[in-house]
Amino acid sequence: MKTTQILIAGFGGQGILFAGKFLAYKGLLEDLQVSWLPSYGPEMRGGTANCNVILSDDPVGSPIITAPDVLIAMNLPSLQKYVDTVVPGGQIYVDSTLISEKVSRTDVEVYYIPATQMANDAGVPTLANMVMMGHVLKNNPELTFDGTEATVAKLVPPTKAQLVELNMKALQAGRDYQ
């Protein structure tokens, strides 16, 4: 019985909620129990945005995450705010294009991914969020990379089908980053 609590945080506009939706749908398609809880209100308008995603074999209790297993930090304030809340043995993903600071904790796995730079290089500058997601999938075998395209297709309106390909490009870049 496994439960993974994932906290994604960054600026409003970085696709934080979309990245969370991606993970939630990925879990849904793998028959997991899931919950997705966004921050809402004034902090979304140009301030910080965050999103709580829980993937579990069991029904999800509280959807509110206080001690994440996985933290994805897309800006410095988010990293500073949440770094100490991650459980020992947890994972922290850092967009190292935007965050030059290093994590000083030694009891967590830290992954530095220059996601914003990579997204720019891949010609998908707005999809740094999905580059990060690609790397998250790589390190979490319970969320296999299989079925990723079907997940993205669920998220993208049928009228914008070309976005599936662009999202896949970003996800693959993240997955392949060493």
Partner 1 sequence: MAERVLMKGNEAIAEAAIRAGCRHYFGYPITPQTEIAAYMAKKMPKIGGVFLQAESEIASINMVYGAAAAGFRVMTSSSSPGISLKSEGLSYIAGSDVPAFVVNVQRGGPGLGGIQPSQSDYFQATKGGGHGDYRMIVLAPASVQEMASLTVKGFNLADKYLMTAMILADGTIGQMMEPITFEDVQVETYDKPWALTGTKMQRKHNIVNSLYLKPDELERKNFERYERYKVVEENEVMYEEYMMEDAEICVVAFGIASRVAKNAVAAARKEGVKAGLIRPITLWPFPKAAVRKAADQVKAFISVELNMGQMIEDIRLAAECTRPVSLCNRTGGMIPDPEQVLAAIKAAQKGVN
The binding site for partner 1 (CB under 8 A) comprises 21, 24-25, 28, 33-38, 40-42, 60-64, 66
Pick the closest to residue 130 from 155, 108, 109 (CA basis): 155
Kindly report the backbone phi and psi dihedral angles of residue 92, in degrees, each rounded to the nearest multiple of 5, phi listed first: -125, 125
C-beta closer to partner 1: residue 35 or 116: 35
Q: Which amino acid is at 128?
A: A
| Alpha carbon distances (Å) from 14 to 32, 35, 126, 131, 156 | 26, 21, 7, 12, 16
Q: What share of the chain is helix, strand, coil (3-state, %, to 5)?
A: 40, 20, 40
Q: At what angle do helices 148-155 and 16-29 cross, to 10 degrees?
A: 130
C-beta closer to partner 1: residue 66 or 178: 66
In a 3-state reduction of DSSP, which class is residue 90?
coil
Q: Which amino acid is at 154?
A: K
C-beta closer to partner 1: residue 1 or 106: 1
Structure-block tokens of residue 7: 């906290």
C-beta closer to partner 1: residue 38 or 77: 38
Which secondary-structure segment (H or E) carries 49? strand 48-56
C-beta closer to partner 1: residue 20 or 174: 20
C-beta closer to partner 1: residue 23 or 173: 23
